[in-house]
Amino acid sequence: MKNAGLLGHPLGHTLSPVLHEKLSRFMGEPIEYKKLDFSPEELDAAIPSLKKLDGFNVTIPHKLNIKSYLDELDESALKHGAVNVVSKQNGKYIGYNTDCIGFVRCLEGAEVEIAGSVCVVGVGGAGRMFATECAYRGCQLTLAVRKQHVEQFRKGAHKDLQELTEKLTRISGKEVQVVSSEELSGDFDLLINASPVGMFPNTDAMPIPQGALKGVQAVFDCIYNPRETQLMKAAKQAGCRVCGGMPMLVWQAAAAQEIWYGKRFTQEQVEQVLQEMEEVL
């Protein structure tokens, strides 16, 4: 039996244990998948117990700081600057990023192209991954963050955001804009919500003003619980093409188990689990 889990805080009613149980039945070996709820202040003390596992997933707020505790980073984690999967291999703990696989496959399924003018709301681990993938595809990027962070950025006092925009500019060859999510406006081919705003149980919240959707063609909200966020509802009303986070969740989890088990899923197996997970919500 594989021993794994989800590292994050707060985890609440995460679907990951159910999802990984459903996926593991195709691997021929069961998995014991636990919720590993540790705050950033508790992470250092939690590392010894985490390293007793075969592997674990990583979510908010640990996708960046977990890197310093690992022996190696896979190319995917180096490329995107964040880790969402850790695997024990030959006594070493290696960090990967499978969120990108889930992101790309999710938008492909919704027939949304990752191209043109893209706004990414939130620049945590997931937001950095989304923005980096868009930059490699030559998109014109806008990063929407909290107003106080914009002010810090403009004063040269937000080192992380400065480094991120410089990196994205080098990759895409295009200047990256940083704007306030509270005051967002403009025309975008794709708007991506990479923030937790609107996630269960705070389902009435939206990460941007509703009026900001007037110039948006398509919206991807990486939140999967609830199935349809307030942002998605408002985007549909505004005539946008909309995609939620469940397909991304399933695809990135499947990629994680492929790393842990060393086996591959078929397209049909993943689609079956996706249908089952849609019924869970």
Residue 181 — left, alpha, or beta (φ > 0 → left; ψ -120 to 50 → alpha)?
alpha
Give 95's contacts (C-beta < 8 A, 6+ positions apart).
66, 67, 70, 72, 73, 74, 77, 83, 85, 86
Of the candidates 106, 41, 112, the residue with the CA atom closest to the CA atom of residue 274: 106
Q: Check: CB of residue 142 under 8 Å from CB of residue 186.
A: yes
Can 63 be counted among the known catalytic residues?
A: yes
DSSP label at residue 183: G
Expressed in percent and rounded to 5, the helix, strand and coil fractions of the chain are 45, 20, 35
φ/ψ of residue 211, rounded to 5? -65, -20
DSSP label at residue 7: E
Q: How far apart are CA 129 and CA 83, in angstroms?
A: 10
Catalytic residue among 22, 63, 67, 88: 63
CA distances in angstroms from 165 to 43, 96, 138, listed in the order given? 28, 22, 14
Catalytic residues: 63
